[in-house]
Amino acid sequence: MGWFGLCNILKAQENFWDSPKAYLGQTPPGSMPVKFAPKLINDTPYFSMDRCAFSPDGMEFYYCRNNTWFSSKDASIQVFKYDGDKWIGPTTLVKQFYAPTFASWGDTLYLIGGGMGSVTQIRRGSNGWSEPEIYLIRHYGIYDFVPTRSGNMYAASNINGSINDFTCYDICVMPPANSGDTTIHSLGKPLNTSGFDGDFFIAPDESFIIVSAKEHPDYECELYISFHKPDGTWTNPKSLGPLINNGLAHRWGEYVTPNNKYLFYSYGHGPQDCAIYWVRFDDLLENLRHSNFDPYARDSITTQTAKIKRPFSLSVHDAFYDDDGNNTLTFSATSADGSSLPAWLAFDTKKKIFSGIPHRPGTYLIKITATDNAGATAVSTFAVTVE
């Protein structure tokens, strides 16, 4: 083919993302989310759901079709392909799998549905896609799965509980599959919470992650974004805004196109209105990257013990963190009900130290508030038991 021929093909593929034929020929949205290709990818009683994926060149579209949220029995991966003139499809690629995710080079497609601790793959060859085969199998749960360019693999898993107890699932990172290391590590706070944290999308370069946050007991949630910091930790997640988080609903299956231009996600109040939505994302991404981050409490302050007529002191200097810089924070303290601190207890707002000498036994509930320059706050409550 030659170098110039290859360059022309790559250039054509790059330009395809900006052509009217891209994205199944659908009219691109602006800042308001809309259903993606509803007349093409929803056929009653089936509906589109969960994560979708475009091939790296944008000329193939893969999505999950199902008739229920909670079983993969009738689920299937459907595909549309652009033949150089028009989109052809949908055709069924594989059955009883969901969450299609491409390897960055595009010749491998990873799927979930083969078992709680497994990831399935199909590989592209000269004769099309191979039959499904196990790519990973682990003793822990694997919910969602996203590989990145570095070789790191991200998934949700049961860090501190049963493989079937989704309330203990955190978003985690696994070393590259060829490393021989089968351990898995939670990304920790502030990305993960005490509840279920499992639905997410991470950028191929690991620069940002979109998570389903503020989970309700039945998994209704909002979409938030966190950014990867140079020290390997993650920023406090922030909302994608009221146009996307427009009320109580299920939002999951996050996916961002390779050019970071559009965000896709599943949305619905139940199977009857579930669909894949898309929204313009590149400008929103940059705005969120540079807007204010809310402060957060690092860890809960444990119950403190004090002795009658003996000096008590507690430093809370490291109790809060702000990704905009900790020098942005000011502090205040009250009793937990908002009233003044107990008469014997004082709080030095500059040194961030509680001190005093109690004179009678009892339990005192204390609230400390950190406020940043934008007026955003974080609160931590703890008890002091005087013996």
| pLDDT for position 198 | 93
| pLDDT for position 8 | 45
Q: What is the DSSP string of 216-245?
A: -TT---EEEEEEB-TTS-BPPPEE--TTTS
Please give the Cα distance from 313 to 315 (Å, whole number).
7
The bridge status of strand 143-147 relative to strand 153-158 is antiparallel
Q: Which residue has the tokens 């049961």?
A: 158
| pLDDT for position 47 | 94
Widest distance between CA atoms in the chain: 88
Contact between residue 122 and residue 132 where contact means Cβ atoms under 8 Å apart: yes
Tokens coding 204: 């191929």
| pLDDT for position 11 | 52
Contact between residue 277 and residue 252 where contact means Cβ atoms under 8 Å apart: no
Judged by DSSP in three states, 344 sits in: coil
| pLDDT for position 5 | 41
Assigned CATH for 11-290: 2.120.10
pTM of the model: 0.92
Tokens coding 269: 């109040």
Q: What is the DSSP string of 86-134?
A: SEEEEEEEEES-EEEEE-TTSSEEEEE-S-TTEEEEEEEETTEEPPPEE
From the first residue on, what is the mean pLDDT of each consecutive set of 10 residues in the chain (387 residues)? 43 78 98 97 91 97 94 94 97 96 94 93 95 95 96 94 89 95 95 93 98 91 97 96 97 96 97 95 97 94 97 96 90 97 97 97 97 96 97
Q: Which residue has the tokens 């549309």?
A: 80
Contact between residue 260 and residue 281 where contact means Cβ atoms under 8 Å apart: yes
Domain boundaries, the chain: 11-290, 296-386
| CA proximity to 108, closest of 141, 138, 135, 84 | 135
Please give the Cα distance from 165 to 160 (Å, whole number).
10
| pLDDT for position 1 | 41
| pLDDT for position 92 | 97
Task: Name the H helices within 166-209.
Answer: none
| pLDDT for position 14 | 62
Q: For residue 334, what are the CA distances in angstroms to 246, 309, 310, 312, 359? A: 34, 22, 22, 17, 19
Tokens coding 32: 């308001």
- 80-83 contacts at long range (C-beta below 8 A, 24 or more positions apart): 80/24, 80/40, 82/16, 82/21
Query: Which architecture characterizes domain 296-386 according to CATH?
Result: Sandwich (2.60)
